[in-house]
Amino acid sequence: MRHEPTIADERGEYGLVITCEHGGNRIPEPYQAYFHGYQALLDSHRGFDPGALVMAKALAKAFSAPLVTASVSRLLVDLNRSPGHPNLHFISIQNAPTQVREQIVRHYYQPYRTQVDSLIRQSLVEHSQVIHLSSHSFTPELDGKLRNADIGLLYDPGRAGEAAFCECWKTSLKAYAPELQVRRNYPYAGKADGQTRWFRQQLTADAYLGIELEINQKHLLAPSQHWSELRRKIVISLQQTLARYFAHPGVIQ
């Protein structure tokens, strides 16, 4: 299934950029000694976002959208954190020599963020607005508490366009997949530290919409057909959302 990457509205066309910051749990060879004995942690939700990369690729393919992904573990360096954030690195890397951290940032963090920045700014040269969709997943249970959602849509509630877009997407998902529990700004706050927040500080609200898609990892444990069908529903609901949102920009449908 393929869809046109842009839909025209009276102001021009929008661009769509897909990213996945936590797509894998790879530790490059020079840093493997820092993670000796931590394989179970690397394989857990703390090491990466299972399913997020597959979802990101499905979205990019369906909408012919540019895609930026990473396979290094977030424990090595979290590409969705700002420089100086206390969780930018796992404790073993925090305790490593300064030059090791600088090398990791130079080789993995900066190139990723620069590539995303370049694509978003190039999209704004070609279109009046860019939608940045970041693909993530979340563990079904954290600290003994079950997460009560199948899908989370994260955004900054202070940005009317993002709020309207996510409300529209939630409505589309409810209509097309009523069995799914969809919540906004859950299980995390969309305006918390992250790559979308950084772009909001650089770009105006009418130019940039930053949305984080969060999928409950319990769906990956179901039969493969279920996971495939969920991805299809998300793609179709996003297609419907784009059409409805840009028919009435900034208005909650």
Residue-level pLDDT at 13? 77
Give the pLDDT of residue 215. Answer: 98
Query: pLDDT tens for residues 34-75?
Result: 999 999 999 999 999 999 999 999 999 999 999 999 999 999
User: What radius of gyration, in Å, describes the C-alpha atoms of the chain?
Assistant: 18
Instruction: Give me the pLDDT at residue 5, please.
Output: 35
Per-residue pLDDT, 250:
52
Helix (H) or strand (E) run with residue 16 in it: strand 12-20
Nearest to 166, CA basis, from 158, 151, 178, 154: 154
Low-confidence ranges of the chain (pLDDT < 50): 1-12, 251-253
Q: Is 30 exposed, middle or buried (0-12, 13-18, 19+ CB in 10 A)?
A: exposed
pLDDT at residue 222, as a whole number: 87
The pLDDT value given to residue 246: 85
Beta-carbon contacts of 106 under 8 Å, excluding residues fewer than 6 positions away, are none
Type and span of the H or E element at 18: strand 12-20
Which domains, ranges and CATH numbers included, belong to the chain? 10-247 (3.40.630.40)
Could you give the angle at the alpha carbon of 210 between the alpha carbons of 206 and 214, nearest 5°?
A: 150
